[in-house]
Amino acid sequence: MAFKEKGLQMSNTNHTPETNEPQLQGGCLCGAVSYQITNRFSRFMLCHCRQCQQLTGSAFAANIFTSPKNIEWLTGHDKISNYRHSSRDSSKSFCAVCGCALPYINQNGKSLIIPAGSLSEQVENTPDANIFEGEQASWLVESFLNPSVQFAVVPNPLSNKRISL
Ligand SMILES: [Zn+2]
Ligand SMILES: [Zn+2]
């Protein structure tokens, strides 16, 4: 797969003094854990497997792959908990306080997996592939394709007849 080296259009982008490469910051919701990485990614995958659905509580995991050495933990490294599935290549690191997904090294040790949602800044990269399509949540596709059920915020009142809570 092609190696991506796109820079970011960020006004407040930080740079490492050594390489002058653009840096991205990320962290968890409660603010205990924060990290910094270089914007140097090899793959961006949306994984629809059943394990990722359970790990995220959502339809799929959005995972960015980079080198295991491409991370600097800024705060809260001691707050990180880890889970490794006993038989599948499923792992998760998360903040022990708020439960948010955080970067982790995959089980073969070759990649650092960054949950895209843990980044505080927008990345220009778009996903390279959807994987485990066969396990995709049945409700996912229709919800994306039907604009009549999309709102910028939670609608109040819920006027669309297709939505009932
Ligand atoms: Zn947290
Ligand atoms: Zn998965």
Alpha-carbon dihedral angle through residues 46, 66, 113, 124, given to the nearest 10 degrees = -50
- So what's the pLDDT on residue 141? 78
Closest ligand relative to 97 C-alpha = 1
Tell me how far the alpha carbon of residue 130 lies from the centroid of ligand 2, in angstroms: 10
- So what's the pLDDT on residue 88? 81
**pTM for this model (two decimals):** 0.79
Tell me how far the alpha carbon of residue 102 lies from the centroid of ligand 1, in angstroms: 9
- So what's the pLDDT on residue 143? 73
Please state, as a whole number, how many other Cβ atoms lie within 10 Å of the Cβ of residue 80: 18
Tell me how far the alpha carbon of residue 50 lies from the centroid of ligand 2, in angstroms: 7
Tell me how far the alpha carbon of residue 17 lies from the centroid of ligand 1, in angstroms: 28
- So what's the pLDDT on residue 12? 42
> What is the distance between the alpha carbons of residues 27 and 133, in angstroms, rounded to a whole number?
29
Domain spans, the chain = 14-138
pLDDT per 10-residue tile (average), the chain, 165 residues: 37 52 94 96 95 95 96 97 88 96 93 97 92 92 72 70 50
Tell me how far the alpha carbon of residue 165 lies from the centroid of ligand 2, in angstroms: 29
- So what's the pLDDT on residue 89? 79
- So what's the pLDDT on residue 14? 52
Tell me how far the alpha carbon of residue 59 lies from the centroid of ligand 1, in angstroms: 22
What does R_g of the chain's alpha carbons equal in angstroms?
18
Q: What's the CATH architecture for 14-138? A: Beta Complex (2.170)
> What is the distance between the alpha carbons of residues 60 and 132, in angstroms, rounded to a whole number?
10
Closest ligand relative to 79 C-alpha = 1
* Residues around the ion ligand 1 (C-beta < 5 A): 28, 30, 32, 95, 97-98
Tell me how far the alpha carbon of residue 100 lies from the centroid of ligand 2, in angstroms: 17
Report the candidate in 27, 52, 19, 30 with the shortest Cα–Cα distance to residue 114: 27
